[in-house]
Structure 1
């Protein structure tokens, strides 16, 4: 493998790799003690180039890039990530894409996530890299070094071998999955999924939306308004100080404060969570200010927490029937049911006439959503037979 430690060598590598139809990538990073991830290593590989001998490909076809070298400039790598002629292949890409979004201000494109591709090809809900390496590449991957300190230098030989294996086997996985997808005529499905994954908004931490990750047991307008301001302050503080959110204040502390809505330092004494969590007078004042701002907002500006849907007996029965249809269609198509429709989609389908949910858009509507609507309207029925669940057309009532 090649270990790239200078911008000059990185430029040469990226110029060479730009001639490949695709590159496989992975990253190793640390963020246990920081808000922003610390990029420690980038792994990259490519397929053989035209005329390249097996020996040359063995030596040149994979590389490790060290972003922690003081003189390193990742600009050539970012340019490669923007190249529209080279597909960027990741497995379980979200955290890797966040890294590129933060450091390079870009989302690599065109893009392929082999975990999503595997869901389209019958490998279950969230196929691991180890599973795909074993089943498609015939390789055993040792993940015992996953939790290594990747910021320490020098990296051990075991770490280097582990790191490069994350992209070398990925070449075989990618090629076999894309062949299966093409044979099943599902390229359009993957295109829709990758377009959603490549949306830059998916990889930004917006302080305005930080409150949504915290659930209140008994949400009401004032409490949610206070929570939004508290979460916004904490997100901005964590970003500014480069600390994990929980090192500023924990989620449960914000939830308790939003419910109590203290107005004075004395009121804060009623929050046991805050007394355990708080570390400074500056935090105390910032918390009181955030709550005051939230409570001062007019009712029209209060946020609304998306509630868990409550289904009555009739809707619950319909939802169960829709889930049977979903599982049957997933089995017929050998596609992960979770990819076709989420549980919340099913519940909304049972409650609303035609809700705006992913299950009723794009390829999902074609393979499941349209039939789900017809089942609701009584146009089709589900029957059990030797081949499993079968969809049966129902005749309209006489005179209809």
Structure 2
């Protein structure tokens, strides 16, 4: 990080607690080329995040919308987020976008995520906001209030200063990143990487696919079918009750339920982690119904373990995968882009086994790594050490 420089002069933040103020400022900000946005929320005891504060910064205005204020009409904020001509700049946008999708039932448009942009520009993997501010501006942000209780009122002056800093410095970060990416010819890369950010399916996955996240180590398809139905039931129940998934029923209990297949509330109560209150409550019957659906599922519809290899699947030697990882690091460093953005470990395994329908073999990834990876696998290119440095060269050298 650079030496700390003098703090730039920003406008004093204005706290908005009335619908009239929200309308006036949001309508004004919607006329700007870009607006920086952040949110503060709490989520420890709920499924849905409880929005507590929305920070917005334009050329002159820095405003904090107190979303805990009673009777506040956020329609002007919704309209701002929906305006294509005004770019909305976030850092690590996923949670913010999830909140806005839940509140407005619409996905914000014209979004730019500086965390993704920083990875494309060569600032490492998932760079933190404070580190990015330090690298690009030489200033330091106090993150002491990161874990404040944002639902408590009144907010302290230090919290207000902290919240405002998240969007004021973000304007400088965006401008510097945009200029750097433009010079590198990588703005289109960022656009491609941000596609999933504004896809509703990213935030509203099919509940019947969530069993995969539990990573059950079994190839028994009947057990997996029951787990699929139970995990889908839990997701829907958690949303309905507005409780975290683990508060409804823990992962470990779900996997044991899928294996044991309890038939009655009394059977459920014998499962580790299932309380008598749950087994005797209203939710228990819904879970028992999910177990029955899994048991009655047709054989051909049962899920297959993601860990089970296909009979004809070619297993790649670990040494080959390690070689591809080495090339990935080499090319990522040469092009100043985060390696995890170019290819995942799973992709490298598939690439080594001969699969060709992969993101790493398309677009800019193919140009900086995929093409050379295929040459390495074909024996046309090689990695060698010369004068203590790693080089990628023709195999005949």
Question: What TM-score do you get using the length of structure 2 for normalisation?
Answer: 0.91
Instruction: State the distance in 1 between where 2:219 and 2:139 align.
Output: 50
**Mapped pair 1:350 → 2:352:** yes
Aligned to 1:321: 323
Change (3 A) 1:269 1:15: closer
Aligned to 2:24: 12
Q: CA deviation at 1:209?
A: 2.4
Aligned to 2:123: 123
Contact 1:253 1:277 in 2 (8 A): no
Q: CA deviation at 1:313?
A: 8.3
Q: Report SS of the residue matched to 1:381.
A: strand
Structure 1 gaps of 5+ residues are 49-56, 396-400
Aligned to 1:65: 65
Contact 2:268 2:279 in 1 (8 A): no
Change (3 A) 1:148 1:161: same
**Mapped pair 1:89 → 2:101:** no
Aligned to 2:187: 187
Q: Report SS of the residue matched to 2:103.
A: helix
Instruction: State the distance in 1 between where 2:305 and 2:243 align.
Output: 27
Aligned to 1:369: 370
Superposed CA deviations along residues 268-309 of structure 1, whole A, max 9, x for unmatched, are 355223358845343333222211110100111112232287
Instruction: State the distance in 2 between where 1:358 and 1:274 align.
Output: 42
Instruction: State the distance in 2 between where 1:188 and 1:387 align.
Output: 35
Q: CA deviation at 1:263?
A: 2.8
Greater displacement, 322-331 / 214-223: 214-223
Aligned to 2:177: 177
Greater displacement, 140-149 / 357-366: 357-366
Change (3 A) 1:287 1:105: closer
Structure 2 gaps of 5+ residues are 1-12
Q: CA deviation at 1:69?
A: 1.5
Aligned to 2:384: 383
Superposed CA deviations along residues 26-55 of structure 1, whole A, max 9, x for unmatched, are 001111111111111000112x3xxxxxxx
Change (3 A) 1:180 1:116: same
**Mapped pair 1:36 → 2:48:** yes
Instruction: State the distance in 1 between where 2:121 and 2:309 align.
Output: 31
Superposed CA deviations along residues 298-352 of structure 1, whole A, max 9, x for unmatched, are 111112232287999852111111111100000101111011111111111112x
Contact 1:34 1:242 in 2 (8 A): yes
Instruction: State the distance in 2 between where 1:122 and 1:277 align.
Output: 52
Q: C-alpha root-mean-square deviation of aligned residues, in Å? A: 2.2
Q: CA deviation at 1:266?
A: 5.1
Superposed CA deviations along residues 338-370 of structure 1, whole A, max 9, x for unmatched, are 11111111111112x234332223221221112
Aligned to 1:2: 14
Q: Report SS of the residue matched to 1:112.
A: strand
Instruction: State the distance in 2 between where 1:385 and 1:105 align.
Output: 57
Aligned to 1:233: 233
Contact 2:230 2:290 in 1 (8 A): yes
Change (3 A) 1:107 1:281: closer
Change (3 A) 1:347 1:287: same
Q: CA deviation at 1:258?
A: 1.1
Aligned positions, number: 383
Greater displacement, 154-163 / 214-223: 214-223
Q: CA deviation at 1:372?
A: 1.2
Instruction: State the distance in 1 between where 2:308 and 2:168 align.
Output: 43
Contact 2:269 2:276 in 1 (8 A): no
Q: Report SS of the residue matched to 2:246.
A: helix
Instruction: State the distance in 2 between where 1:283 and 1:84 align.
Output: 43
